[in-house]
């Protein structure tokens, strides 16, 4: 039975798949956009060409070619009629010897548009044009890869800085580096422990961290049932919870719904809150 893959290998495979996805997405989005631009530009130039050729005006053809050469995206073009070159322009090395009709891609950013017309009673015509659209699909894919890698290394560097921070970083010794212990838990005892008094000590989250035997006797519950339990287990009065949230030092009568015979005195402590319990004596009648 093969051992399970380690978390490191799983992360590496996932990251590699993400890189491939980002490159593919960037490539094909740019490819589709540039292909559409090349097709539209080629068809527009072809329609104008057919018009000026039908005029049989050489100056109109020259004007058409000059207008085409002013376009930065046009690298080269060639027009043939009956197999003879009528006019051409640009760097003809960008034009391949033979290309399929339509739009074709030449890496890294070159597009070839080729259109033919063969009609009865008319000389066959052929128009081929090379266009450049920077940066091209390959570079757009590489841009996505670079952005993903930079984001990965940036986050990795931030993680290392966090590990090396004084609060929970890496401690160095002569024998090498070791991970320092995690920061200590918040204190679970009051700064001054009262003796002989019925009290509960609550931490910042109102969890009972200490309970005196006297308080356990008043509540008629063993300490083991109350320790690490929440104050909500005693059904505190809303006024009691409001005073706790405001860190007030106050005495409240009938502070617990289940213990109507008890009052509570709140005393804020730097490590939490002390809750002193007092029995409410019944009023004496004369």
pLDDT at 164: 53
pLDDT of residue 30: 85
> Cα-Cα-Cα-Cα dihedral of 151, 143, 29, 40, to 10°?
150
DSSP string of the chain? -PPPPPHHHHHHHHHHHHHHHHHHHHHHHHHHHHHHHHHHHHHHHHHHHHHHHHHT-HHHHHHHHHHHHT-TTEEEEEEEETTEEEEEEE-GGGS-SS--SEEEEETTTEEEEEEEE--TTS--EEEEEEEE-SS-HHHHHHHHHHHHHHHHHHHHHHHHHHHTSTTT-EEEETTEEEEPPPPPPPP-S-SS--SSS-EEEE-TT-BEEEE-HHHHHHHTS-HHHHTT-BGGGG-B-HHHHHHHHTT---EESS-BTTBTTEEEEEEEETTEEEEEEEE-PPPP--
Cβ atoms 75, 132 nearer than 8 A: yes
192: number of Cβ within 10 Å = 11
Predicted local confidence at residue 109, as pLDDT: 84
Mark the ranges of the chain whose per-residue pLDDT is less than 50.
Answer: 1, 163, 166-177, 179
Residue 171: the pLDDT is 45
């Amino acid at each position: 039975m093969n051992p399970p893959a380690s978390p490191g290998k799983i992360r590496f495979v996932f990251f590699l798949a993400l890189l491939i996805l980002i490159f593919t997405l960037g490539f094909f989005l740019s490819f589709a956009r540039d292909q559409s631009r090349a097709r539209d530009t080629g068809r527009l130039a072809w329609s104008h060409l057919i018009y000026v050729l039908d005029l049989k005006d050489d100056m109109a053809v020259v004007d058409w070619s000059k207008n085409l050469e002013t376009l930065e995206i046009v690298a080269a073009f060639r027009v043939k009629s009956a197999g003879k070159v009528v006019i051409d322009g640009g760097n003809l090395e960008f034009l391949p010897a033979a290309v399929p009709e339509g739009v074709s891609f030449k890496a890294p950013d070159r597009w070839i548009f080729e259109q033919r017309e063969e009609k009865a009673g008319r000389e066959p015509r052929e128009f081929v044009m090379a266009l450049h659209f920077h940066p091209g699909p390959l570079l757009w894919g590489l841009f996505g890869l670079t952005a993903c890698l930079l984001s990965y290394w940036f986050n990795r560097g931030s993680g290392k800085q966090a590990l090396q921070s004084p609060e929970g970083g890496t401690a160095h010794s002569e024998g090498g580096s070791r991970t320092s212990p995690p920061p200590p838990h918040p204190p679970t005892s009051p700064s001054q422990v009262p003796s002989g008094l019925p009290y509960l000590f609550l931490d910042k989250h109102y969890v009972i961290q200490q309970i005196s035997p006297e308080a356990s006797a008043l509540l008629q519950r063993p300490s083991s049932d109350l320790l690490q339990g929440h104050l909500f287990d005693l059904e505190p009065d809303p006024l009691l919870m409001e005073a706790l949230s405001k860190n007030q030092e106050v005495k409240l009568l009938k502070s617990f719904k289940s213990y109507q015979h008890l009052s509570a005195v709140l005393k804020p402590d730097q490590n939490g809150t002390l809750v002193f319990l007092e029995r409410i004596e019944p009023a004496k009648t004369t």
